[in-house]
Structure 1
Amino acid sequence: MAIPPEFLEELKARLPATDVVGRRVKLIRSGRDTKGCCPFHKEKTPSFHVYDDHYHCFGCGAHGSVIDFVMESEGLEFREAVQRLAGEAGLPMPEETPEDRERRARNRTLAEVVEMAAAFFEKCLRMPEGRPALDYLRGRGLTDETIRRFRLGFSPDGRGKLKSMLAAEGIEEGLMVAAGLLVQPEDAGREPYDRFRGRVMFPITDRQGQVIAFGARLLAGDGPKYLNSPETPLFHKGRNLYGLAQAKDAIRSAGTVIVCEGYTDVIALAQAGIGQAVAPLGTALTEEQIALLWRLAPEPVLCFDGDAAGQRAAARAAERALPLLKAGFGLRFALLPPGEDPDSLVQGQGRQAFDALLAGATALSELIWRVESGGRLPPTPEGRADLNKRLDQRIRDIPDPTVRRYFQDFFKSRLWPDGPGRQGGRGGQRQERGFGRGKWGANAWTGPSERLRADTADTRPVESARLRWAILLATAINHPELLAEVEEELGQVAINDQNLDNLRQAILITHAGGLPLDTEGLVNHLSEQGYSQALSQLLSARTYDHARFARPNAGHAEARQGWEATISHLRGEDLESELQAAQDAVRRDPSEANMNWVVRVRRMMDEGEQPEAAFD
């Protein structure tokens, strides 16, 4: 039965998360927060924050209420967790109706029947009749330990061997049919018979590890090569993922989830130490499965074969995800080399080959671009207009207008990389060109998000930041030859000073006009546009005393090195400001989007290096 929402709210009010979590996790008070080391992944620095009504880990993304915590930490189903907490709080559980009790008892019985079948298949794998199946699994490189961990089995030939075993245990035929284990012929009078015969068996479990269905591969003979259980009261193909029970801890630890096409791919990756893999259940990813993946990680990686069929499957997955897309969540796509699947790649080339594949995974926006453009930019305006129209049609289903706008900006930057459509101004959008140095690398700094611009316009220490902005502009004016190299970086800096921002825009527009101006010519041109007073304040000892490299007599290499150091400091300040804004947003509204905002900024900070001093 559905537990009334008011009962759940009363239960949470009586048992603050800080009390329940504090019994299992050592928590310390830090200002307004209570935090400790996350119980769901290994860490040395506490990033697991607990509030009265929820918890959130900024390291692995674990999030939920006191009920979620008990479910995850103790492996309980929702109702079991509620019952345990209700007893602790002294709240009597709502009474079930006779219909509720009958439904729950039937589901429990179905689960018991399916578990009996799983144990039977495991036993058959180790019997002489199951030797071909065991040889097949070992031939795929699976160890006995892995076979046991995933509870792989064998369904013997014959139309009634499982049926006879279950009947001997007192199980009625009707329950066997309801559990999806027997096929009920349409012809009246014919006996139900075993659904799975002569197949390698892959138990499908729910998130807690309870077997709810089976996938099966035919070893020899006629019939479909792959066969899954039908829909049952326990099993819904579109709502579950193969291997999730085994993968959930690794997903938390890695901060991502990998989606493969086959069950053996999941198993082979787990054996190779890549435990965060799951697979859909014999069908293309459903909207419910995509939503489930996003509850596990903000950017799942989907692995597909590199052939035409795999590319079509990737395109379908992208199309299905677009109507669900929201800020902070996305997909990446890893297309395998021709003739390879994750299983064969790991077996043949080792884990490092698969890690390299993941590192090069393609973003959702890039995949859509490649699908529609075919990897070729039309050379004519009308060709680009047609491509732009098709891209707009692709993304029109994105419900979030901000996300949709960023997709449009990305496509424009690809359609007109050097022309009138270039998105070279502010906005933090990733470009194909980037820093290209150190860990920050190409595309590493995308600038502060639009959210940061809205939420933290006045949070930066203004004088320090304004000085750095002034140094950048002075360097650009005194060394205009640098602009060809740093134009995009200058355009991406968030300058929260209107006068300096206007001057920045004037410099960029002048450079884009293609006039071959030296410093004197650039200053004269800007002065004619009304920037004389701004230039006199900017090009002065007040700026130069802090940065010798910005002076006109500095060498090109010195100016470039000083530029990069200043950019590095601004990036660090942007991220610190954004982190503070994100944490403040979580305190005001602990929504999933705000939580993911913090996680994303922390990861960006973890990937960076401390810049060298920019000021002398």
Structure 2
Amino acid sequence: MAFTPQFLDELRARLRPVDVIGRTTRLIRKGNEHQGLCPFHKEKTPSFYVYDDHYHCFGCGVHGSVIDFVMNTENLSFPEAVEKLADEAGLEVPVDSPEERQKAERRTTLLDAMELACAHYEKQLRMPEGASGLAYFSQRGLDDGTIARFRLGFAPSRRGGLKTALARANVDEDLMVETGLSRRPDDGRAPYDYFRDRVLFPITDRRGKVIAFGGRTLGDGEPKYLNSPETPLFHKSRTLYGLAQALPAARKSGQLTVTEGYMDVIALHQAGIDTAVAPLGTALTEDQIQELWRIAPEPVLCFDGDAAGQKAAARAADRCLPLLQPGKSLRFALLPTGEDPDSLIRREGPGAMREVLETARPLSDALWTWVVEGARANTPERRAALWKELKDRVFRIQDPTVRKTFLESYESRFWAKPSHKAGHRSQGGHRSTRRTDVLHRPEGAAEAHVDSSRREDQLLLALFLCRPAMFETYDEEFGRLAFRDPGDERLRQALVDLLSDHRQRDSAEVVAELTEGGHGGALSRILTTDEVRVMRRAGGPLHPETQATEVEAIWSRYRNRQLKDGIRRELSAASDAMSDDDLAKRMEMIRVRLGVDDDADED
């Protein structure tokens, strides 16, 4: 059975080797790759590496794609392995027939026509008729290298200039209409060029093959931006502009930056931020989100800071929610009001743009902001309505693990209450236990509660960094935790992944491996907290010999705090129906019954 190159490329794009190989081979992340014991020969020291598009063993030399792996481990022929993987990827295997072979040949012909058109438009940009287009790109700050890299071009105002040029290469009218290069009038007149008097941005597939164009008018014509129509080659909802140029850097870094337009993508690449892509004039679609996740687990969506940008970001978040999976999400970066990536880079330089991207917020935080912050919830009815709106968003998440994590995080934030010890004396001299939720307590009180909880999270992380050997005792319990802060949670997951192989490591080795894996920023934040400094040698790494009594005390205090948070959540639903005194008595009764040490958990 023969498979077209396009089908095999799509299959490989949909299935990451690490996902397929990781089902049968234990892999540990090492920087941007994954490492494990080779399944093809016996070894004690891992020499088997899995990359974004292939695997390689430096011990026995075995090498191949995800298809090769299935063939060799399951004793399947090439067609059998392709059919098995296609079923997993949700792809229909094309039937090997004369019709399919003809279709594949036709696609090659269409791609050839698009390549000829792209070369023609590039040439026109350097001709006298293209002077206005070249001036436009120069005014936007693009150098010759960038213009050549993105193959920018110009379409003169003549109705048949491209048609005449392609006719010399035996490209007929029907083929030009099929590729969207020409348009045939409804009245039966001869076809005319689709793009006229516009600068052109070639749109390619992930292999760099030209499949469409985007054009921008330089005058007052409408529409300002015009994309090729849908064709056998081009489906706008599945395509990302700049993907072919971004893939090498994205595969190396595991990162992607999504912005709003052609010029933003090009400006970012020219500034050295060469992981930028963009949808094509539409809101980010489900197909585009899945395409992003095949390359990067948490792409950064960068939007303008104005109301329209906020709205676009919120739409992208809503569309992403049902698709979320463990380890697959989005982050959001908002530019200063009135700026886009292109203008910010030209005005303040690439460093300013990098700062924006480095402050990108996780989806969970961004969604909280859009729904909760600024809402009027000063009555029980309004609070209930706001909580319902937030829960409705969360329950759009299909994956049960991600949904549960979101819900628990939001519950603790939404219903968080200050400690009763923080109350004040009433006029009669009795301590007031009046409750205020996170939306309406005095400024700074909610932040203090969150900061206290996060300090406990970070201190627990520090303990495992200090004493990796204690993971043997607490591995299951530590593995089931879920920290509130996304950065701390990512570090916890990385620490669990690292220590789960139960290989002996000292503190310095753990810190070094996590830093190599891209967690240097989170480690730095934890290593500089006041509580951790006491466990460090002067001028050195974390002290490797923290006393067992300290470990047990901090671990016990952490579990007490987790338990009390759970008690609060359990009572939150009934709290509005109880008096303040009754609630205080109920909390005290549960605390005493469960043996929670109140002094170990000062909020």
TM-score under structure 2 length normalisation: 0.63
Distance in 2, matches of 1:406 and 1:221, equals 51
Distance in 2, matches of 1:195 and 1:444, equals 59
In the alignment, is the contact (CA less than 8 A) between 2:259 and 2:302 conserved in 1? yes
Report the CA distance between 1:613 and its aligned residue.
Answer: 4.7
Q: Residues 61, 258 of structure 1: CA spacing in aligned structure 2 closer, same or farther, 3 A cutoff?
A: farther
Task: State the Cα deviation string for residues 440-488 of structure 1 (Å, max 9, x = none).
Answer: x97984968xxx9xxxxx98333xx79xxxxxxxxxxxxxxxxxxxxxx
Residue 118 of structure 2 aligns with an amino acid whose one-letter code is A
SS in 2 for 1:389: helix
Report the CA distance between 1:51 and its aligned residue.
Answer: 5.0
State the match for 1:137 in structure 2: 137
Report the CA distance between 1:574 and its aligned residue.
Answer: 8.5
Q: How many residues align?
A: 437
In the alignment, is the contact (CA less than 8 A) between 1:185 and 1:191 conserved in 2? yes
Match status 1:270 vs 2:201? no
Residue 141 of structure 2 aligns with an amino acid whose one-letter code is G
TM-score under structure 1 length normalisation: 0.62
Residue 241 of structure 2 aligns with an amino acid whose one-letter code is Y
State the match for 1:62 in structure 2: 52
Report the CA distance between 1:575 and its aligned residue.
Answer: 5.7
State the match for 1:460 in structure 2: 471
In the alignment, is the contact (CA less than 8 A) between 2:183 and 2:193 conserved in 1? yes
Report the CA distance between 1:2 and its aligned residue.
Answer: 7.3
State the match for 1:593 in structure 2: none
State the match for 1:244 in structure 2: 243
SS in 1 for 2:314: helix
Q: Residues 225, 611 of structure 1: CA spacing in aligned structure 2 closer, same or farther, 3 A cutoff?
A: same
Q: Residues 321, 105 of structure 1: CA spacing in aligned structure 2 closer, same or farther, 3 A cutoff?
A: same
Match status 1:320 vs 2:319? yes
Q: Residues 172, 333 of structure 1: CA spacing in aligned structure 2 closer, same or farther, 3 A cutoff?
A: same
State the match for 2:163 in structure 1: 163
Distance in 2, matches of 1:229 and 1:293, equals 22
State the match for 1:480 in structure 2: none
Q: Residues 289, 62 of structure 1: CA spacing in aligned structure 2 closer, same or farther, 3 A cutoff?
A: same
Distance in 2, matches of 1:146 and 1:198, equals 21
Report the CA distance between 1:50 and its aligned residue.
Answer: 8.0
Residue 581 of structure 1, aligned match among 500, 519, 531: 500
Q: Residues 275, 443 of structure 1: CA spacing in aligned structure 2 closer, same or farther, 3 A cutoff?
A: farther
Distance in 1, matches of 2:345 and 2:216, equals 21
State the match for 2:149 in structure 1: 149
In the alignment, is the contact (CA less than 8 A) between 2:38 and 2:47 conserved in 1? no
State the match for 2:546 in structure 1: 615
State the match for 2:309 in structure 1: 310
Q: Residues 369, 214 of structure 1: CA spacing in aligned structure 2 closer, same or farther, 3 A cutoff?
A: same
Q: Residues 331, 58 of structure 1: CA spacing in aligned structure 2 closer, same or farther, 3 A cutoff?
A: farther
Residue 52 of structure 2 aligns with an amino acid whose one-letter code is A
SS in 2 for 1:296: coil
SS in 1 for 2:342: helix
SS in 1 for 2:201: strand
Match status 1:186 vs 2:105? no
In the alignment, is the contact (CA less than 8 A) between 2:182 and 2:191 conserved in 1? yes
SS in 2 for 1:105: helix
Residue 237 of structure 2 aligns with an amino acid whose one-letter code is G
Report the CA distance between 1:204 and its aligned residue.
Answer: 0.5
Distance in 1, matches of 2:129 and 2:491, equals 64
Which residues in structure 2 correspond to 1:80-95 (within 5 Å)? Answer: none
In the alignment, is the contact (CA less than 8 A) between 1:579 and 1:601 conserved in 2? no
Residue 201 of structure 2 aligns with an amino acid whose one-letter code is F
Which residues in structure 2 correspond to 1:131-530 (within 5 Å)? Answer: 131-187=131-187, 189-376=188-375, 378-419=377-418, 445=458, 460-462=471-473
Q: Residues 68, 123 of structure 1: CA spacing in aligned structure 2 closer, same or farther, 3 A cutoff?
A: farther
Query: Which piece of structure 1 moves more, 122-131 or 58-67?
Result: 58-67
In the alignment, is the contact (CA less than 8 A) between 1:377 and 1:415 conserved in 2? no
Task: State the Cα deviation string for residues 501-548 of structure 1 (Å, max 9, x = none).
Answer: 9xxxxxxxxxxxxxxxxxxxxxxxxxxxxxxxxxxxxxxxxxxxxxxx
Q: Residues 51, 291 of structure 1: CA spacing in aligned structure 2 closer, same or farther, 3 A cutoff?
A: farther
Distance in 2, matches of 1:194 and 1:413, equals 60
SS in 1 for 2:301: strand
Report the CA distance between 1:329 and its aligned residue.
Answer: 1.0
Distance in 2, matches of 1:165 and 1:140, equals 29
Residue 460 of structure 1 aligns with an amino acid whose one-letter code is F
SS in 1 for 2:189: coil
Report the CA distance between 1:432 and its aligned residue.
Answer: 6.0
Q: Residues 35, 366 of structure 1: CA spacing in aligned structure 2 closer, same or farther, 3 A cutoff?
A: closer
Distance in 2, matches of 1:446 and 1:392, equals 30
SS in 2 for 1:100: helix
Q: Residues 434, 356 of structure 1: CA spacing in aligned structure 2 closer, same or farther, 3 A cutoff?
A: farther
Residue 461 of structure 1 aligns with an amino acid whose one-letter code is E
Which residues in structure 2 correspond to 1:113-124 (within 5 Å)? Answer: 113-124=113-124
Report the CA distance between 1:34 and its aligned residue.
Answer: 10
State the match for 1:112 in structure 2: 112
Residue 543 of structure 2 aligns with an amino acid whose one-letter code is E
Residue 62 of structure 1 aligns with an amino acid whose one-letter code is D
Q: Residues 57, 417 of structure 1: CA spacing in aligned structure 2 closer, same or farther, 3 A cutoff?
A: farther
Report the CA distance between 1:130 and its aligned residue.
Answer: 0.3
Distance in 1, matches of 2:380 and 2:123, equals 67
Q: Residues 615, 303 of structure 1: CA spacing in aligned structure 2 closer, same or farther, 3 A cutoff?
A: closer
Report the CA distance between 1:119 and its aligned residue.
Answer: 0.1
State the match for 2:97 in structure 1: 97
Distance in 1, matches of 2:350 and 2:149, equals 20
Distance in 2, matches of 1:193 and 1:203, equals 19
SS in 1 for 2:397: coil
Report the CA distance between 1:377 and its aligned residue.
Answer: 6.8
Indicate the RMSD between aligned Cα atoms, in angstroms. 4.5
Which residues in structure 2 correspond to 1:540-555 (within 5 Å)? Answer: none
Report the CA distance between 1:62 and its aligned residue.
Answer: 1.9
Residue 384 of structure 1 aligns with an amino acid whose one-letter code is R
Report the CA distance between 1:378 and its aligned residue.
Answer: 2.7
In the alignment, is the contact (CA less than 8 A) between 1:298 and 1:329 conserved in 2? yes
Distance in 2, matches of 1:52 and 1:262, equals 45
Distance in 2, matches of 1:102 and 1:48, equals 43
Distance in 1, matches of 2:516 and 2:319, equals 27
Report the CA distance between 1:68 and its aligned residue.
Answer: 4.2
Report the CA distance between 1:372 and its aligned residue.
Answer: 1.4
Q: Percent identity?
A: 46
Task: State the Cα deviation string for residues 414-458 of structure 1 (Å, max 9, x = none).
Answer: 3123258999xxxxxxx9669989xxx97984968xxx9xxxxx9
Unaligned runs of 5+ in 1: 19-31, 72-81, 87-93, 424-430, 453-457, 467-492, 502-570, 585-597
Distance in 1, matches of 2:367 and 2:308, equals 16
In the alignment, is the contact (CA less than 8 A) between 1:35 and 1:50 conserved in 2? no
